[in-house]
Amino acid sequence: NAGVTQTPKFQVLKTGQSMTLQCAQDMNHNSMYWYRQDPGMGLRLIYYSASEGTTDKGEVPNGYNVSRLNKREFSLRLESAAPSQTSVYFCASTSRRDTGELFFGEGSRLTVL
């Protein structure tokens, strides 16, 4: 069972470079999320997509853009990377049924030099 798949798992960028983190889920979930994890700060929501065709800002959206390509895929783009964006990024999804627990990808570690 693949669940939520993120690529790449590791990436090193130079300041000013751009990149896209890809996320795909095979659970037919409606809602998808991008979080970043920094030491001592837990996980903070960057952007989310409550359903196909919609996206909304989370707590820390500055410097990021997202695209909900279809029901399965939700990508996160850094247009001009900054050292402050060095972090571990998690994609997650939920069916919005039962407890509505989030299912997470394995994370993508991004370093911006």
Partner 1 sequence: AQKITQTQPGMFVQEKEAVTLDCTYDTSDQSYGLFWYKQPSSGEMIFLIYQGSYDEQNATEGRYSLNFQKARKSANLVISASQLGDSAMYFCAMRVWSNDYKLSFGAGTTVTVRA
**What does R_g of the chain's alpha carbons equal in angstroms?**
13
Bridge partners of 84, per DSSP, are none
Please give the size of the binding site for partner 1, defined by CB under 8 A.
26
Spatial contact of 88 and 39, defined as CB atoms under 8 Å apart: no
Minimum CB distance to partner 1 smaller for 40 or for 53: 40
- Binding mask 62-81 toward partner 1 (x if CB under 8 A, else -) reads --------------------
By CB under 8 A, name the one of 21, 33, 64, 66 that touches partner 1: 33
- Smallest CA-to-CA distance from 90 within 72, 78, 102 is with 102
Of the listed pieces 17-25, 62-70, 73-81, 91-99, which binds partner 1 according to CB under 8 A? 91-99
Check binding of 48 to partner 1 (CB under 8 A).
yes
Report the alpha-carbon distance of residue 94 to residue 97 in Å, rounded: 8
